[in-house]
Structures are given as structure tokens and as C-alpha cells.
């Protein structure tokens, strides 16, 4: 059986990469295939990598407050490139009303600081759009 492939990405200028790195490693140890982009990625970079790596999930980590713009751009480019079966999730410093807006726009979930990693991995397994 093919392992679920996850892209963990840091959009924009934000340098806070602690959460992204910890999550990438923990998901790998839970049996996922994980690709981590590093920091300072544009939406174009992220979607291109997602296509090249044929991932099932994109996880955006953002703590800089610029989440509305970057999530929207990634969603737009995912649609444009037909990545309808790729699950988009996120995490970081995101106020509640923005979380709701992003969920309405098509982000499957935004995880708050303090979320246990197994909650994230269970969410991915349950909500994955592609058959694995």
C-alpha cells in the first residue's frame, strides 16, 4: 500500500519553523511520507512542489499573521492546477474568526497551538481525499 504523502510548507516571509519541523518529523515517525519545503516559499513554489511530489496533503505552517493572503493564494493555485483531491490543512497563530473563514473557503482544518500531533495524524487519515 502506498504511504500517504504530506507536504509541510512555510509560506511567505515567516521564519518560525519550529512547529513545521517538529510536525514533519513526528508525522514521518507515524508512518507518513513527509516532504518539508523549508522557509520563504511562495504559493507558486508550494503548489509546484505538491505536484512534483504527488502529495495527498498540503500542510501550511504560518505564525506571521499573513495567513489569509497565503492560504487564499495556495487555494487558488490548487484549483487552477486541478488539485481537487489534495487535502489542505494548516496550523499556527490564527484567530478564530479567520479559522472559520478559511474553513469556509476550503481549508479542511486549521490546528491551534497546543494540538497533539496524533490529533493531526488522525485527522489526515480520516479526511484524506485520495484512496490510499
Q: Shortest approach of other proteins to residue 57 CB, angstroms?
A: 17
Of 104, 94, 89, the closest CA to residue 68 belongs to 94
Stretch of 23-31, 44-52, 53-61, 81-89 contacting other proteins, by CB under 8 A: 23-31
If one asks whether residue 84 binds other proteins (CB under 8 A), the answer comes out as no
Give, as ranges, the residues between 92 and 111 that touch other proteins (CB under 8 A).
93, 95-97
Show the binding pattern over residues 53-72: x = contacts other proteins (CB under 8 A), - = does not: -----------xxx-xxx--
Element (H, E) at 80: helix 67-80
Torsion angle (degrees, nearest 10) of CA 89, 50, 9, 127: 20
The answer to whether the CB of 93 falls within 8 A of the CB of 121 is no
Residue with cell 493572503: 69
- At 24 the three-state DSSP class reads helix
If one asks whether residue 14 binds other proteins (CB under 8 A), the answer comes out as yes
If one asks whether residue 32 binds other proteins (CB under 8 A), the answer comes out as no
If one asks whether residue 17 binds other proteins (CB under 8 A), the answer comes out as yes
**Backbone torsions φ then ψ of 59, nearest 5 degrees:** -115, 120
Residues that bind other proteins (CB under 8 A): 12-18, 20-22, 24-26, 36-40, 42, 64-66, 68-70, 73, 93, 95-97, 112-114, 116-118
Amino acid at each position: 500500500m502506498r504511504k500517504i504523502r504530506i507536504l509541510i510548507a512555510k509560506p511567505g516571509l515567516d521564519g518560525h519553523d519550529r512547529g513545521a519541523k517538529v510536525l514533519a518529523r513526528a508525522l514521518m515517525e507515524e508512518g507518513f511520507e513527509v516532504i518539508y519545503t523549508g522557509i520563504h516559499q511562495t504559493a507558486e513554489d508550494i503548489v509546484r512542489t505538491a505536484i512534483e511530489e504527488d502529495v495527498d496533503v498540503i500542510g501550511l505552517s504560518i505564525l506571521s499573521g499573513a495567513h489569509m493572503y497565503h492560504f487564499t493564494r495556495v487555494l487558488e493555485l490548487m484549483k487552477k492546477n486541478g488539485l481537487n483531491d489534495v487535502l489542505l490543512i494548516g496550523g499556527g497563530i490564527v484567530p478564530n474568526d479567520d479559522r472559520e473563514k478559511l474553513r469556509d473557503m476550503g481549508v479542511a482544518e486549521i490546528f491551534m497551538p497546543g494540538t497533539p500531533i496524533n490529533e493531526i495524524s488522525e485527522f489526515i487519515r480520516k479526511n484524506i481525499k485520495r484512496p490510499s
